[in-house]
Structure 1
């Protein structure tokens, strides 16, 4: 494992796939769940003094941009765990498969580039899969699908905005600023949490939830982030992105195995997932082939 970057990469993807499962196991509502997640990660990073020294030469503008993008990822998690709670882990994970679709469509707008026909094609090819997914979930889970789709859109936005920052800032200090800004936002809004339902009010996690939260923050956030930095030094960006796009597969397989969610979903759902993933992975392979031509 120590010397095999591919095993390290797929361990990262597996751990990220577990986040939806843990979101279902944790009894806290989405808002307090995300708050405790970003708080635990923030405390771990802020307490590591060498990270502060590495921020010394970072321009103030980049620090503000990092903090702003931290708010984007925090809201992404709110929508994602909202989807887990309203629907289930499989539906939320499937929506994440739409993130590359949004990224392909929105990145030209953010980077002020002309639209690429291949990028537009991925959106068209994913539409039948989306329709099948919607048709394969119970009516009561449609709100969860909508929340998950918004989460995917914000994940694509975060990825686009983070590209430039990651080139100019050290990785762990960047994450520290982003997690700290999310923690501060949610802490300031604690009086407003009950507006989203009584279950969203602030409360301390019980012993069971605390254990799952520590696993979510440390094993499924800090550990894969540290590993992915190592992996990126040894594998191409294409290999990494292709594996990351498989995260929904891991999550759905784990949900079926551990949560028995297959009883809640119909066969069109799984066919739709397959079509979405085929569009995403086919688009990635096509992009690489064209780049090598």
Structure 2
């Protein structure tokens, strides 16, 4: 609840952001389901195998969707240059495949709820990057800072609760 309140304060309850916020909430719901489902899968299957099938499924779905995309946006070029292909391969292997395998491995030790809560920091990372690279920091106000504080507080509180829960469940040996 703190995170939702924080995000709403960041965007000032502005109606011009309604579609973006709605898509963000839907995306968050799917991300939460993805994490919960993966937490169960990693108990029985290898993380690399899970990642392979998920990436294959995504590739097939996007491949089937490509003709519809070209039909609706016929002026788009699709074939990347050789330099872009090189960078795409680096990004795909390091920033997607490797990170998703590490993500699946972390689900063996960290609860899905805690991981999902840390994903709440993604809007903050995006906003900070927009400040740094696109000089977008001129229009922030006090509610923005309160919103960021609430999101960060929710992540911090969940971390403290998880640590306390872990310490009470596992008896400490001295």
Give TM-score, length-normalised by structure 1: 0.46
Q: Is residue 185 from structure 1 mapped to residue 58 from structure 2 by the alignment?
A: no
Deviations 1:21-77 (A, max 9, x none): xxxxxxxxxxxxxxxxxxxxxxxxxxxxxxxxxxxxxxxxxxxxxxxxxxxxxxxxx
Work out the CA distance in 1 between the residues paired with 2:82 and 2:92.
15
Work out the CA distance in 1 between the residues paired with 2:142 and 2:83.
34
Counterpart pick for 1:224 among 96, 99, 102: 99
Q: Return 5+ residue gaps in structure 1 as ranges.
A: 1-122
Work out the CA distance in 2 between the residues paired with 1:272 and 1:228.
27
Q: Which one has a bigger Cα radius of gyration?
A: 2
Match of 2:147 in 1: 272
Deviations 1:84-109 (A, max 9, x none): xxxxxxxxxxxxxxxxxxxxxxxxxx
Work out the CA distance in 2 between the residues paired with 1:264 and 1:256.
10
Counterpart pick for 1:168 among 25, 37, 44: 44
1:134 Cα shift?
A: 2.6
Greater than 3 Å deviation, 4+ residue runs: 139-142, 199-202, 206-212, 225-230, 240-252, 263-267
Match of 2:110 in 1: 237
Q: Return 5+ residue gaps in structure 2 as ranges.
A: 169-174
Work out the CA distance in 2 between the residues paired with 1:200 and 1:141.
28
1:180 Cα shift?
A: 0.3
Match of 1:134 in 2: 11
Work out the CA distance in 1 between the residues paired with 2:28 and 2:35.
11
1:237 Cα shift?
A: 2.3
1:194 Cα shift?
A: 4.4
1:193 Cα shift?
A: 1.8
Work out the CA distance in 1 between the residues paired with 2:75 and 2:27.
19
Work out the CA distance in 2 between the residues paired with 1:189 and 1:200.
17
Match of 2:163 in 1: 288
The question of whether the paired residues in 2 share the 8 Å contact of 1:133 and 1:273 is answered with yes
1:178 Cα shift?
A: 0.5
Q: CA RMSD in A?
A: 3.5
SS in structure 1 of the partner of residue 43 of structure 2: helix
Q: Which has the higher contact order (CA 8 A, sep 6+)?
A: 2
SS in structure 2 of the partner of residue 135 of structure 1: coil
CA shift in 2, pair 1:236/1:158, >3 Å: closer
CA shift in 2, pair 1:173/1:284, >3 Å: same
The question of whether the paired residues in 2 share the 8 Å contact of 1:193 and 1:202 is answered with no
Work out the CA distance in 1 between the residues paired with 2:75 and 2:61.
15
Work out the CA distance in 1 between the residues paired with 2:144 and 2:59.
35
Q: Is residue 144 from structure 1 mapped to residue 20 from structure 2 by the alignment?
A: yes
Work out the CA distance in 2 between the residues paired with 1:216 and 1:264.
32
CA shift in 2, pair 1:208/1:268, >3 Å: farther
Match of 1:63 in 2: none
CA shift in 2, pair 1:251/1:216, >3 Å: farther
